């Protein structure tokens, strides 16, 4: 599961994203912290602590993957749909803006993914802005957390060895802070040579990957979601390695529901259908699940 919510009396941190690369070890990675953006998303639905932890795990994982996209305007959606206590989870990343919501039994307790979601699947959708193409990968809802399922997605679907760790501190009353790290072994090094290996075929892990994965795996929940700055955390984990820092855009909460856009979409429906949609007051109510608002449209 996501892990226990760590109690920490720490100074608030800002939303942050920092990329890094270890060219001598053929790895790349990303650190992300969600602060104001996370609290705005969670407050919209007043999630109890167990559900807040599940959604925070998914939001951090989405932000980590989204921040790794090569296209600045590219988008990524992570969606879990199932038949268990938690029915639906949707998170997406678009040019630095992250949003998400969770639907299901508010009394659900933390557990592994099968216990929380039942039978279902996890879909990862990538939208490339320059080519207008969409790519989707689907993996089972298996493992201890959304982050663990995405590790499997990269390993099985993309054949890219990946480590993901996420953590959450705080409470609804004091405010939450979530953080995460993603580390990947590059399929091709800087010299262009293939670095792929297949664990299911009995190939041993390359020594460089094993070494960097071990270092990254020592990170603690307090380090990920505490007051430690991303640069300081990188130094703490990899101070004996050559690591190049790649500045990133700080994540922000962004819901793309817009009154003008919604009105335009509704206006395209035939009048007979719009008449059926109208309520007693003559307006059409459009519910945005992400920000928990209902827009009353005059159309």
pLDDT tens per residue across span 29-60: 999 999 999 999 998 888 899 999 999 999 99
- 195 pLDDT above the threshold of 60: no
- Domains of the chain, earliest start first: 16-253 (3.55.30.10), 259-297 (no CATH)
Q: What is the pLDDT of residue 9?
A: 43
- 1 pLDDT above the threshold of 50: no
Least confident residue range of 112-121, 133-142, 195-204, 212-221: 195-204
Q: The dihedral of CA 82, 84, 88, 91: what is its sign?
A: negative
Cβ atoms of 166 and 147 within 8 Å: the answer is yes
Q: What is the pLDDT of residue 5?
A: 46
- 294 pLDDT above the threshold of 80: no
Q: What is the pLDDT of residue 193?
A: 53
- 204 pLDDT above the threshold of 90: no
Q: What is the pLDDT of residue 214?
A: 96
Q: What is the pLDDT of residue 61?
A: 97
- pLDDT above 70 covers a percentage of the chain that reads 83
Q: What is the pLDDT of residue 243?
A: 93
pTM (predicted TM-score): 0.84
Q: What is the pLDDT of residue 132?
A: 66
pLDDT tens per residue across span 13-32: 589 999 999 999 999 999 99
- 295 pLDDT above the threshold of 60: yes
pLDDT tens per residue across span 233-267: 999 999 999 999 998 888 998 776 667 767 777 77
pLDDT tens per residue across span 2-16: 444 444 444 445 899
Q: What is the pLDDT of residue 73?
A: 66
What is the rounded average pLDDT for all residues in the chain? 84
- 124 pLDDT above the threshold of 90: yes
Q: What is the pLDDT of residue 52?
A: 93
Q: What is the pLDDT of residue 155?
A: 85
Least confident residue range of 121-125, 192-196, 206-210, 213-217: 192-196
């Amino acid at each position: 599961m996501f892990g226990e919510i760590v109690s920490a009396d720490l100074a608030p941190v800002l939303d942050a994203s920092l990329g890094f690369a270890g060219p001598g070890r053929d790895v790349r990675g990303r650190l992300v912290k969600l602060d104001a953006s996370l609290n705005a998303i969670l407050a919209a639905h007043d999630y109890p602590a167990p559900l807040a932890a599940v959604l925070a795990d998914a939001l951090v994982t989405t932000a980590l993957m989204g921040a790794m996209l090569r296209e600045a305007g590219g988008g990524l959606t992570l969606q879990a749909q199932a038949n268990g206590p938690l029915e639906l989870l949707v998170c997406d990343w678009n040019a630095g803006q992250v949003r998400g919501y969770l639907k299901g039994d508010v009394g659900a307790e933390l557990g592994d993914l099968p216990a929380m979601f039942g039978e279902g699947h996890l879909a990862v959708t990538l939208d490339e802005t320059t080519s207008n193409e969409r790519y989707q990968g689907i993996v089972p809802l298996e493992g201890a957390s959304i982050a663990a399922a995405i590790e499997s997605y990269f390993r099985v679907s993309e054949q890219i060895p990946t480590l993901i760790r996420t953590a959450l501190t705080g409470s609804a009353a004091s405010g939450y802070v979530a953080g995460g790290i993603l580390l990947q072994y590059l399929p091709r090094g800087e010299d262009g040579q293939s670095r792929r290996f297949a664990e299911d075929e009995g190939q041993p892990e390359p020594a460089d990957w094993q070494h960097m994965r071990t270092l990254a795996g020592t990170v603690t929940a307090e380090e990920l979601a505490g007051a430690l700055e991303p640069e300081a955390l990188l130094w703490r984990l990899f101070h004996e390695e050559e690591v190049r820092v790649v500045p990133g855009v700080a994540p922000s909460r962004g819901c793309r529901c817009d009154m003008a856009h919604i009105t335009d979409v509704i206006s395209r429906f035939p009048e007979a259908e719009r008449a059926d949609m109208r309520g007693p007051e003559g307006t059409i109510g459009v519910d945005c699940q992400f920000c928990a608002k209902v827009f009353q449209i005059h159309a």
